[in-house]
Structure 1
Amino acid sequence: MFLVLWLFACLVAATPVPHAKRTNVPSGWSRVRQHSPDAFLPLRFGLTQPNTDMATLESLLHTVSHPDSPSYGQHWSAERVASHFAASNESISTVVAWLASSGFDANRISVNKRSGWVALRNATVAEAESLLETEYHVFVHSASGQEHVACEEYHLPAHVAPHVQLITPSVDFDAVLRVRSPHMSIDIGQPGAGTVFPHRTQAVDALLPGTEHCDSQITPACLRALYNFTYTPTLTNSENPFAIVEYTPQAYVPSDLDHFAANFSPALVGVRPAFVSIDGGSIDGAAFGASGFDYNGESNLDLEYAMTLVSGAVTLYQVGDFQMGASFNNLLDALDGSYCSFEGGDDPQDDGIYPDTLDGGYQGDDCGTVKPANVISTSYGYNEADLSAAYTARQCAEYAKLGLMGVTVLYSSGDNGVAGNGALCLTPDGEQTPSGKIFNPSFPSTCPFVTSVGATQINPGKTVADPESACQQVISSGGGFSNYFALPEYQQGAVQAYLSRNPPPYSNTTYNSTGTSRAIPDLSANGANYATAIEGGFYLVYGTSASAPVVASMLAMINDARLAAGKSTIGFINPAIYTPAFEGAFHDIVAGSNPGCGTRGFAAAEGYDPVTGLGTPQFDKLLELWMDLP
């Protein structure tokens, strides 16, 4: 009997089970041929890391981030984080033994325990297809001609599957990216790449002083008045680093920064952000033909307002060279050396792989080279549906690690309401199209370990003393419910109250109506009519791209006050801002909606809503609350 049971257990363990499956080909890509069986694949197995399930990560973050925790503010060191999330010996031995039993010699298998990956050298397509019970095909992007290798689904033995988080290459299309020229390849910063970009309208004939015309022209003075944001920093940027992230070829123009400063902050004329180049990041776009609003608008907007609001103390993380480009993963590599190959590492199809072998490319490999700033603001994002659940989970876990180390990470929530970038919505089979009817949330905003920032507006004819509404001029505040991530504990009361009091008039075929998924955004700030210096003049600019760095500036100054008082940084703020104590620190936005996908979207309402989150910040009250915490 024992022998029979043992044989049965072995049979079950060896039985292949589905591990990952893609439901659609992302917009713009088409399958053109089956991959050559003799071609080589850079086959890598990202091991399941201990303690990285969402519930465990949330519990760990709660300990250092919730105001009621006795360990509030006692953030972890980078060394403690790396040790806590190292791959287990059991996972390594299981995957290696499986590959060996499948006929692969030991000299073809390499292991990196610290970063948690197993690589199979010189694997042919035929070998990979046999190993994973799948077929690999070549896909081509219609706009660029860029090729991508992927399979529809793959299988693993039942005993191996729990030890593998993801395999590359496999089902993922980890970015929707377009090649613009031979010098510009995979890159978040490419115009038309599908990521969030600000929107420009008319030129500004005359700048309007004071705060009397903030309904038609937002300036730093308007923002200070709206959010009671008056503060003079006491620490230097090196003592309290605050970073804005940009992706080459997006880059600021120094003369535009000076033009803005001359009108709004004369002391900053000639001042530049502290420059941190990651993987060859450069602002010399003119040499590559990258100039004009499509290349300079985002960075100019972010830096002009952030630098003015915090008196110049800003660091710029400029990511990626002009030849290869970069992704969010390249930024995270630089902030955490263990992430470079964590759970399989970067994907050569979709992330910048350095050293860059392209002509003139960056010859370094920036892994763990940058100490994370206390606040990091990013005004870019994908559609959640662009990525697999495994890919987003891997990246989301990294944001949790940064939170454990006391870092605040903010992302803009998108500019198309309940639709995704490009106003794309989902079809029942998962395809993204302009005619889709299913809501399409953004990522990384839907990661429960970042703070998602939506957009508001001052309504025409109103003043800074009047209530704002959800932004519906030119853009609509991105918001909705994740299709990948569960509702975090810190958000449960707020989201359930919204759904109970304001049940959306849509069926479960239109959005994730379970009431158990992560909702975005978390909070908001004005995103309309920003007077921005571009190409030597001023233009009105719109977007959650503007909202995120404004909120980040306020949080950076709260850190300034806490650090000066000998306290810790505020770190991951979501568990705090959803508590009753912080309820009065936000202007509740109760008007407007975020239309998209042929609907009105969700409606702003009293309390939390998936249009403007908790509302807009009142800096003075937030500062007082956080200064009262240990």
Structure 2
Amino acid sequence: MAIFVTRVCVLIAGLSCLTFLEARPSSPYIQHEKRSHIPPGWSHLRKPDASTVIPLRFALKQSNIDKLDQMLQDVSHPESANYGQYWSPAQIRQTFAPSSTTVDTVRDWLLSSGVSAHNVRLTSSKTWIEAKISMEDAERLLQAEYQTYGHETGKEHIACTSYHLPAHISPHIDVITPSIHFDATLGRRDSFGSSHLPQMLRQPRLGTRPKMIGEAQSDVDDCATQITPACLKALYNFTYNPVSSGSNTFGIVVEYTPQAYTKADLNLFARNFSSNLIGKYPKLVSVDGGIVQSEALGFQYNIESNLDLEYAQALVGPKQEITLYQVGDMVISGSFNNFLDALDGSYCDYEGGDDPTYDSSYPDTDPDGYNGAPSCGITKPANVISTSYGYNEADLSPAYTARQCAEYAKLGLMGVTFVFSSGDSGVAGNGNLCLNPDGSQTVNGTIFNPGFPATCPYITSVGATQIKDGAGVTDPEISCEETIATGGGFSNRFEMPSYQQQAVNNYLAKYKPDYSADIWNSTGISRGYPDISANGASYVVAVNGTFARVSGTSASGPVVASMLAMINDARIASGKGPIGFINPVLYSSSFSSAFNDITTGGNLGCGTAGFTTAPGWDPATGLGTPNFPKLLEKWLALP
């Protein structure tokens, strides 16, 4: 094998030289990842300097990932002998650590390709490798062409359109950064503006002002026009008094700074709907400098947190402490991965660690930023965690979504229940964006645009329903598509999980829409969502000292999570464990009578009527809305 030596000197805290030995690859190169377009808001600026040194990060393949679904089913399926026998963090770490073969293969490839040994670093957890090399050598190593791109906010980023790896190396690597990925979190402008809000934020939609609200509001005669805690309790027969003496944990919600609740609004809501909650606030867990900020106030900053906490507290009552995970500082905020790092210390390094082109990196060097160490494994995850945020699947690379989805499965193995809202734009994505044939997203696109993490098969996705005009709380609800269109459909990334095959196949066999196959995933083998639903229309919320009506699956998600938290309370009080990953139980035949089937309405979007509801599971409302007493009875009967 012929070897050619190239020596590059660059200034990095003094003069250092990087040696790159060009060597013929031992196997042919194959494409590893590719993107089809530049995301909205970005434009090409220039070719980066060839001598610029970049830290290439190689995410190593994890062991036993191909068995992850089977392992999770083993502790989650109601007919399994190991139901509820959850794993410890140590078991998780040991089971999924990369093999020594993977570590050695990737490291040997880098060294044989000419990367100097002193520029190659293997993390202590042995989950990723970093190699500091010049831009020119990175392009040669990956058969890629890097460019510098600029965002409309002024931020710059280095990326490539595609990159390649030797055929014998590709199976050992999940993703490399920097490469094809673009930022999903962006820093703030000089004054607070929309660019400072996390891009994954799905704001609930504001409606008309509610009718006059009086103290101790408990009327359920007007629930078709405005939802209150009393309406929800009546709709789902949800009456429960916690009895587990504080041993149950409920994480509501993950909020991303600058999103924050205000104490005055929580108290205003309590005075009108649950006076025993006046002065009651959630337990704060700060992740990466997260604070309940009061610097920026207004609907866009307070509505999500207020909505989540006001209703969760009102539904579970003062005896149940609620944990608030506040993620990110005021400068760069945070992402789902920053939050997951806090729950699982091994995830900080898992498959390459957080991606700096998607996730916020701490310490934050901004004078006003959080300059502490990243929050890794700082808190034990709550039994139930509800999140009202989401991306479009197309916002993120397949490798990124697969990595994060696997982490939800790992946390499910530890007994954690994750609830995510399904989206508010029907079959379209956030911002009513639909896909184009080239993979780009525009408001005039025609291809259905599923959401994430709603499509991850290891979380419970919650859609929205509403009370029909003129109907009452004892009448059947309909799919929510007037104030918002409930999100639902079929993933373009994830396979259909075994637990929902029977239910989804029944829908596709009897009620499959006749849309052209080129505008939706009609293969019949992909994950369908949502799993279940709850009312998400015209919630009365206290915000900025007054009341407003808002709608969205960000309302229905916490409602379902509150019920699940109380089911955990009852199980713990009876000497049993938490319910953990619930989807295999939800789709089991024994639980079919625990839901109110929704058979009217749909979820329009992308210039179509979307999917229509149908008897049984459907991609608008899932299995239906919960009947709390029946769910409680059935879960108490499980081991």
TM-score over 0.5 for the pair: yes
Contact kept? 2:491, 2:526, Cα under 8 Å: yes
CA distance in 1, matches of 2:611, 2:449: 13
Partner residue in 2 for 1:359: 367
How do 1:594-609 residues align onto structure 2 when only pairs under 5 Å count?
A: 594-609=603-618
Select 2:391's aligned residue among 379, 382, 405: 382
SS in 1 for 2:87: coil
Select 1:99's aligned residue among 107, 110, 127: 110
User: How far does residue 38 in structure 1 lie from its aligned partner after superposition?
Assistant: 2.0
| Alpha-carbon spacing, 1:264–1:360, altered in 2? closer, same or farther (3 Å) | same
**Worse overlay, 192-201 or 586-595:** 192-201
Residue-by-residue CA offset, 1:120-145 (whole Å, 9 max, x unaligned): 13x22111111100011122223x22
The two structures have a TM-score, normalised by structure 1, of: 0.94
Partner amino acid, structure 1, of 2:479: A
How do 1:308-327 residues align onto structure 2 when only pairs under 5 Å count?
A: 308-312=314-318, 313-327=321-335
Contact kept? 1:34, 1:135, Cα under 8 Å: no
2:54 maps to 1:65: no
Residue-by-residue CA offset, 1:272-326 (whole Å, 9 max, x unaligned): 101111100011232xxx2101000000000000011111321100000102211
Contact kept? 1:194, 1:422, Cα under 8 Å: no
CA distance in 2, matches of 1:164, 1:339: 16
User: How far does residue 210 in structure 1 lie from its aligned partner after superposition?
Assistant: 1.5
CA distance in 1, matches of 2:449, 2:121: 39
Partner amino acid, structure 2, of 1:576: V
**Worse overlay, 324-333 or 352-361:** 352-361
Partner residue in 2 for 1:137: 147
SS in 2 for 1:626: helix
**Worse overlay, 19-28 or 319-328:** 19-28
How do 1:466-615 residues align onto structure 2 when only pairs under 5 Å count?
A: 466-615=475-624
Contact kept? 1:132, 1:154, Cα under 8 Å: yes
Partner residue in 2 for 1:297: 303
| Alpha-carbon spacing, 1:174–1:62, altered in 2? closer, same or farther (3 Å) | farther
Partner residue in 2 for 1:202: 208
| Alpha-carbon spacing, 1:550–1:506, altered in 2? closer, same or farther (3 Å) | same
Residue-by-residue CA offset, 1:21-55 (whole Å, 9 max, x unaligned): 112222222223222222232210000101123xx
| Alpha-carbon spacing, 1:102–1:12, altered in 2? closer, same or farther (3 Å) | closer
CA distance in 2, matches of 1:227, 1:40: 59
Question: How many residues are aligned here?
Answer: 611
Partner amino acid, structure 1, of 2:202: V
Partner residue in 1 for 2:33: 20
Unaligned runs of 5+ in 2: 1-22
| Alpha-carbon spacing, 1:11–1:139, altered in 2? closer, same or farther (3 Å) | closer
User: How far does residue 12 in structure 1 lie from its aligned partner after superposition?
Assistant: 8.4
Residue-by-residue CA offset, 1:320-343 (whole Å, 9 max, x unaligned): 010221111100011011111211
User: How far does residue 437 in structure 1 lie from its aligned partner after superposition?
Assistant: 0.3
Select 1:437's aligned residue among 439, 446, 449: 446
Select 1:368's aligned residue among 360, 377, 386: 377
| Alpha-carbon spacing, 1:195–1:239, altered in 2? closer, same or farther (3 Å) | closer
User: How far does residue 193 in structure 1 lie from its aligned partner after superposition?
Assistant: 2.7
- Identity across aligned pairs (percent)? 55
2:135 maps to 1:125: yes
| Alpha-carbon spacing, 1:323–1:185, altered in 2? closer, same or farther (3 Å) | farther
Select 2:94's aligned residue among 83, 89, 99: 83
User: How far does residue 344 in structure 1 lie from its aligned partner after superposition?
Assistant: 1.1
Partner residue in 2 for 1:332: 340
| Alpha-carbon spacing, 1:210–1:351, altered in 2? closer, same or farther (3 Å) | same
Residue-by-residue CA offset, 1:343-377 (whole Å, 9 max, x unaligned): 11112233111122111321222101111000000
CA distance in 1, matches of 2:490, 2:474: 31
Partner amino acid, structure 2, of 1:206: M
The two structures have a TM-score, normalised by structure 2, of: 0.93
SS in 1 for 2:50: coil
Partner residue in 1 for 2:12: none
| Alpha-carbon spacing, 1:337–1:71, altered in 2? closer, same or farther (3 Å) | same
How do 1:369-448 residues align onto structure 2 when only pairs under 5 Å count?
A: 369-448=378-457
CA distance in 2, matches of 1:195, 1:244: 13
CA distance in 1, matches of 2:194, 2:289: 14
Partner amino acid, structure 2, of 1:141: H
User: How far does residue 184 in structure 1 lie from its aligned partner after superposition?
Assistant: 7.1
| Alpha-carbon spacing, 1:232–1:613, altered in 2? closer, same or farther (3 Å) | same
| Alpha-carbon spacing, 1:616–1:326, altered in 2? closer, same or farther (3 Å) | same
Contact kept? 1:256, 1:536, Cα under 8 Å: yes
Unaligned runs of 5+ in 1: 1-9
**Worse overlay, 12-21 or 434-443:** 12-21
CA distance in 2, matches of 1:350, 1:182: 22
CA distance in 1, matches of 2:84, 2:113: 48
User: How far does residue 186 in structure 1 lie from its aligned partner after superposition?
Assistant: 12
CA distance in 1, matches of 2:45, 2:246: 51
Partner residue in 2 for 1:44: 57
Contact kept? 2:248, 2:383, Cα under 8 Å: no
SS in 1 for 2:65: coil
SS in 2 for 1:203: coil
Residue-by-residue CA offset, 1:46-71 (whole Å, 9 max, x unaligned): 00101123xx2211111000000000
How do 1:443-462 residues align onto structure 2 when only pairs under 5 Å count?
A: 443-462=452-471
- Runs of 4+ displaced beyond 3 Å: 10-13, 177-180, 182-187, 236-239
Select 2:283's aligned residue among 259, 274, 277: 274
User: How far does residue 115 in structure 1 lie from its aligned partner after superposition?
Assistant: 5.2
